[in-house]
């Protein structure tokens, strides 16, 4: 079967065509993916302005959709119905104006083409990015074994989720305040870096000293799988305020010390949960999973603990928001809905 995925929860407008085999339950091929981003506009304002993000979604949607259909299925305007079996679309969480663009597009296509519509929770999308084929022409990688532990680390979320199967899911913990990506972005702003700051902090951290300051590692040793990163932001702010001049080297040292604090907490909580629930797989997902230093630290510490779990990380371009992961989640968690009843849910969490 072929799934059309649509993702517009924030500042990426993404459409993908994913081929899957219902009998073997494998994702066989990513036929095409097109993604446009309004990130450069938001970099100028230091963060996403929802109204602008929504307007950009509107201007990108049809060009992205038509290019993807052309590339993946040679489908042109004027032809009747493309060879697809279902339409999967993000319905939350996210910015209401942005979500509406994807949802309205999906509803209209479902109505016009008479195709099933599958609403997808964006958070599951980040988890199911791990099931995607490694590249456009390769097969889904090793079959992921349950129980699996997923760490979703994005701009809006830091969640630890236990998956006994595709349908039995328990949230072990989440962030009590700022998400990990949000912490990277807010601290980056304090240091004068442009939005989003995660990737630049990682690059600068390579030239800095992670032990320059031992920033707080909130909740690290406590018996909870919740996270809290707002205290870290305050600690960095105090340090910046007390510093007469932020030299390039000092910024690099602060980046390295900040990153070390965030990674320590993420790794410790994830591995503690992996041990407690004796999971067979650990899945990372979300923009912060693109951080190689995080992946290396997780891998190294899992080895130290002789943990018997395989670690999965999506290809970098599928860590950040994209429509392929939405199609993948739609395939494994297929719950059809009529185009008449679909509406956005900006506050959606795991169900």
Q: Collapsing DSSP states into helix, strand and coil, what is residue 3?
A: strand
- DSSP structural state of residue 144: P
Q: Kindly state the smallest distance separating residue 336's Cβ from ligand KG4, in Å.
A: 25
Total number of residues shown for the chain: 351
Which of these ranges, 207-215, 233-241, 285-293, 332-340, lies near ligand KG4 under the rule CB under 6 A?
Answer: 285-293
Q: Which is nearer to ligand KG4, 275 or 293 (CB)?
A: 293
Round to whole Å and give the CA distance between 290 and 202: 10
Among Zn ion, ligand KG4, none, the one that 185 touches (CB under a kind-dependent 5 to 8 A) is ligand KG4
Check residue 156 for interaction with ligand KG4 (CB under 6 A): yes
Q: Which residues pair with 205 in a beta bridge?
A: none
Q: Which is nearer to Zn ion, 162 or 288 (CB)?
A: 288
Q: Which is nearer to ligand KG4, 181 or 210 (CB)?
A: 181
Check residue 290 for interaction with ligand KG4 (CB under 6 A): yes
Q: Are 196 and 39 in contact (CB under 8 A)?
A: yes
Check residue 93 for interaction with ligand KG4 (CB under 6 A): no
The string of DSSP letters for 201-214 reads HHHHHTTS-TTSS-
Q: Which is nearer to ligand KG4, 318 or 331 (CB)?
A: 318
Check residue 96 for interaction with ligand KG4 (CB under 6 A): no
Q: Kindly state the smallest distance separating residue 278's Cβ from ligand KG4, in Å.
A: 28
Q: If you search the block for the tokens 């923009």, which residue do you land on?
A: 287
Q: Collapsing DSSP states into helix, strand and coil, what is residue 19?
A: strand
Pick from 14, 130, 154, 175 the residue near ligand KG4 by CB under 6 A: 154
Check residue 287 for interaction with ligand KG4 (CB under 6 A): yes
Which of these ranges, 14-22, 100-108, 179-187, 232-240, lies near ligand KG4 under the rule CB under 6 A?
Answer: 179-187
Q: Are 123 and 93 in contact (CB under 8 A)?
A: yes
Q: Which residues pair with 121 in a beta bridge?
A: 92
Pick from 5, 97, 119, 155 the residue near ligand KG4 by CB under 6 A: 155
What is the maximum alpha-carbon separation in the chain?
A: 66
Q: Kindly state the smallest distance separating residue 154's Cβ from Zn ion, in Å.
A: 4
Nearest partner of 96 among 204, 16, 10, judged by Cα: 10
**Count of CB atoms within 10 A of residue 136's CB?**
13
Applying the rule CB under 6 A, the residues between 5 and 44 that interact with ligand KG4 are 10
């Amino acid at each position: 079967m072929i799934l059309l995925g649509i993702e517009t929860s924030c500042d990426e407008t993404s459409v993908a065509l994913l081929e899957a085999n219902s009998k073997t339950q494998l994702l066989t091929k990513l036929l095409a993916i097109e993604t446009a981003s309004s990130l450069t506009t938001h970099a100028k304002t230091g963060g996403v302005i929802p109204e602008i993000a929504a307007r950009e979604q509107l201007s990108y949607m049809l060009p992205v959709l038509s290019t993807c259909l052309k590339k993946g299925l040679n489908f042109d305007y004027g032809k009747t119905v493309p060879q697809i079996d279902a339409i999967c679309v993000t319905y939350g969480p996210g910015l209401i104006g942005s979500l509406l663009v994807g949802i309205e597009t999906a509803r209209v296509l479902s109505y016009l083409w008479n195709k099933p519509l599958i609403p997808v929770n964006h958070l599951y999308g980040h988890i199911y990015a791990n099931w995607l084929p490694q590249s456009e022409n390769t097969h889904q990688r090793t079959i992921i074994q349950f129980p699996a532990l997923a760490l979703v680390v994005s701009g809006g979320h830091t969640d630890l989720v236990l998956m006994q199967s595709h349908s039995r899911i328990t949230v072990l913990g989440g962030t009590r305040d700022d998400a990990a990506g949000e912490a990277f972005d807010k601290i980056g702003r304090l240091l004068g870096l442009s939005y989003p700051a995660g990737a630049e902090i990682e690059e600068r951290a390579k030239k800095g000293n992670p032990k320059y300051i031992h920033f707080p590692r909130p909740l690290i040793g406590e018996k909870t799988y919740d996270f809290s990163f707002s205290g870290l932001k305050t600690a960095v702010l105090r340090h910046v305020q007390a510093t007469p001049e932020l030299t390039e080297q000092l910024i690099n040292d602060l980046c390295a010390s900040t990153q070390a604090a965030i990674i320590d907490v993420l790794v410790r909580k994830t591995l503690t949960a992996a041990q407690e629930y004796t999971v067979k797989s650990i899945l990372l997902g979300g923009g912060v999973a693109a951080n190689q230093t995080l992946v290396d630290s997780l891998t190294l510490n899992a080895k130290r603990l002789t943990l018997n779990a395989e670690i999965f990380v999506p290809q970098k371009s599928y860590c950040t928001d994209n429509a392929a992961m939405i199609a993948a989640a739609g395939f494994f968690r297929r719950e059809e809905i009529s185009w008449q009843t679909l509406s956005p849910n900006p506050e959606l969490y795991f169900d």
